[in-house]
């Protein structure tokens, strides 16, 4: 589904004003929401929990034009035990009057009630805040991701023999498993880290095995599993400048994909903590160039119209979030629409950023390949350059060093692809920077107005050809 730009009426003012969601002004204020959650979240089992802080971490405003999905992290303390933890909570706002309350009553009347594993049950899983007309879901409850709480409850026990494969059979016994949530997008999916501790019956030696679980709302995980298996088989058959994270198993009844832990160090960490990042970026550039020219078994296409829809959606978010940037963003979007043309499609990762690339020795490993499609190949290097230039996840990296890192990558990439790919690169970077700016706002990053403005400024410089 193409992403739609915000209606023009929404952008007349600025975030958080929206004529269809007047409660958004309260819902977007962490101080006000701290008090709201303290009043309305109900602890289970008679516990006395204190919510110490409320931190917005992902806002999907005007999703499908008719609702807002607002995710928060609550810092919670148990006064009886002294335990503290982060609790994810989602608030859903609907444009249609009474819709949130209707859904709440429907969910409350569901038979049987949602079964939440005891270790994850702190507050009542679903609630309703009348003053905000907000439906509330407390992780891991998710009305469209019912498989998530099953996975967290231990439904994937078939993983144990797969993780212990390679150890001497019959001697090793699984002793303890833990699951740690890493990422969560309400109604869309979650990433979990699964750790298994086993013991040798004869020697008493301990062994720890780890993998990652991706829980999906739909069958996208099955497609990713088959793609990863094909790419893994192809890489194993010959020399390749890149690898992909190896799939372990896909469990269709739980819509969950298990993946081996990526070896090596994330490019993001290499850029942050020094070392020879120039050599790393050149290796990554060669790997991306090879992936964009590989024979990858794909059927899905993401055409120029799809790309422009993504850019326009991000641009409308930025214009709403930062009204002072409206003229610049409008001009940049117009330049993209006027300048980009269709090209022969090639495989693209489509979500290439510094924490999705690992390096182990001379080997480059790509992770998070759910979005791989046929598209304009130059979108991949532009996407990565935009994330480096805007320093997404790289706050500690000086801006001038980020620009130097981007140039090292660009020079190496275009030394390994056809010259015909080069002319539209700057325009792709401009579009990618606008999408990055929209993503910074959606993630409600600390100092997001400043970071959004910096990303738009980088897009303006890029449009002037400063990467040439």
Tens of pLDDT, residues 408-462: 999 999 999 999 999 999 999 999 999 999 999 999 999 999 999 999 999 999 9
Residues facing 75 on adjacent strands: 53, 86
Give me the mean pLDDT over the 292-299 stretch.
Answer: 93
The pLDDT of residue 466: 45
Residue 381 in contact with residue 467, Cβ under 8 Å? no
End-to-end CA separation in angstroms for the chain: 34
pLDDT at 168 over 70: no
How far apart CA 151 and CA 368 sit, in angstroms, is: 20
The pLDDT of residue 1: 53
CB atoms within 10 A of CB 177: 17
How far apart CA 308 and CA 334 sit, in angstroms, is: 10
Sheet of strand 363-366: strand arrangement: 242-244, 363-366, 357-360, 265-266
Angle between helices 425-442 and 448-463 (to 10 degrees): 170
The pLDDT of residue 241: 87
Closest CA to 198 of 190, 211, 207: 207
Q: Between these two residues, 272 and 114, which has the higher pLDDT value?
A: 272
Mean pLDDT of the chain: 92
Task: Please give the structure tokens belonging to residue 423.
Answer: 């002319």
The region of weakest confidence among 53-62, 109-118, 288-297, 394-403 is 109-118
pLDDT at 320 over 80: yes
Closest CA to 70 of 149, 134, 5: 134
Tens of pLDDT, residues 19-36: 999 999 999 999 999 999
How far apart CA 92 and CA 259 sit, in angstroms, is: 31
Q: Between these two residues, 45 and 304, which has the higher pLDDT value?
A: 304
Task: Please give the structure tokens belonging to residue 8.
Answer: 């023009």
- Band (pLDDT 50/70/90 cuts) for residue 467 is very low
Q: Where do the H-state alpha helices sit in 205-258?
A: 220-236
Give me the mean pLDDT over the 157-176 stretch.
Answer: 79
How far apart CA 367 and CA 232 sit, in angstroms, is: 12
CB atoms within 10 A of CB 333: 23
The pLDDT of residue 195: 94
Q: With H, G, I as helix, E, B as strand and everything else as coil, classify residue 51.
A: strand
- Band (pLDDT 50/70/90 cuts) for residue 201 is confident
């Amino acid at each position: 589904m193409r992403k739609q730009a915000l209606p023009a009426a929404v952008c007349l003012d600025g975030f958080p004003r929206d004529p269809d969601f007047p409660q958004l002004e309260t819902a977007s204020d962490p101080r006000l929401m701290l008090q709201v959650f303290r009043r309305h979240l109900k602890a289970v089992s008679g516990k006395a929990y204190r919510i110490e802080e409320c931190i917005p971490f992902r806002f999907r405003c005007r999703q499908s034009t008719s609702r807002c999905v607002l995710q928060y992290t609550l810092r919670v303390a148990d006064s009886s035990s002294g335990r503290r933890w982060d609790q994810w909570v989602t608030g859903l706002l609907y444009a249609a009057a009474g819709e949130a309350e209707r859904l709440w009553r429907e969910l409350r009347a569901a038979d049987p009630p949602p079964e939440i594993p005891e270790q994850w049950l702190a507050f009542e899983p679903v609630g309703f805040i009348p003053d905000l007309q907000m439906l509330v879901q407390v992780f891991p409850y998710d009305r469209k991701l019912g498989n998530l709480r099953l996975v967290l409850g231990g439904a994937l026990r078939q993983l144990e023999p797969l993780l212990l494969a390679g150890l001497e059979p019959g001697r090793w016994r699984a002793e303890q498993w833990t699951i740690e949530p890493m990422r969560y997008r309400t109604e869309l999916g979650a990433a979990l880290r699964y750790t298994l501790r086993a013991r040798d019956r004869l020697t008493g030696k301990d062994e720890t095995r780890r993998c990652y679980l991706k829980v999906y709302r739909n069958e996208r995980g099955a497609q990713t599993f088959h793609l990863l298996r094909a790419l893994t088989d192809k890489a194993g058959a010959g020399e390749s400048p890149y690898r992909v994270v190896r799939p372990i198993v896909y469990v269709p009844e739980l819509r969950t994909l298990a993946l081996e832990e990526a070896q090596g160090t994330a490019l993001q960490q290499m850029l942050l903590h020094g070392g020879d990042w120039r050599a790393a970026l050149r290796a990554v550039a060669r790997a991306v160039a090879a992936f964009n020219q590989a024979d990858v078994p794909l059927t899905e296409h993401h055409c120029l119209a799809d790309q422009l829809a993504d850019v326009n959606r991000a641009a409308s978010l930025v214009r709403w979030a930062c009204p002072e940037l409206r003229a610049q963003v409008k001009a940049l979007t117009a330049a993209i629409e006027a300048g980009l043309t269709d090209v022969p499609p090639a495989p693209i990762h489509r979500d290439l950023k510094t924490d999705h690339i690992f390096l182990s020795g001379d080997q480059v490993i790509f992770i998070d390949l759910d979005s791989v499609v046929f598209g304009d190949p130059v979108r991949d290097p532009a996407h990565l350059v935009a994330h480096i230039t805007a320093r997404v996840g790289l706050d500690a990296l000086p801006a001038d060093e980020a620009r130097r890192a981007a140039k090292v990558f660009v020079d190496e990439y275009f030394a390994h692809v056809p010259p015909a790919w080069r002319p539209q690169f700057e325009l792709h970077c401009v579009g990618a920077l606008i999408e990055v700016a929209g993503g910074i706002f959606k993630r409600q990053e600390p100092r997001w107005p400043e970071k959004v403005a910096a990303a738009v400024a980088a897009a303006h410089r890029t449009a002037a050809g400063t990467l040439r």
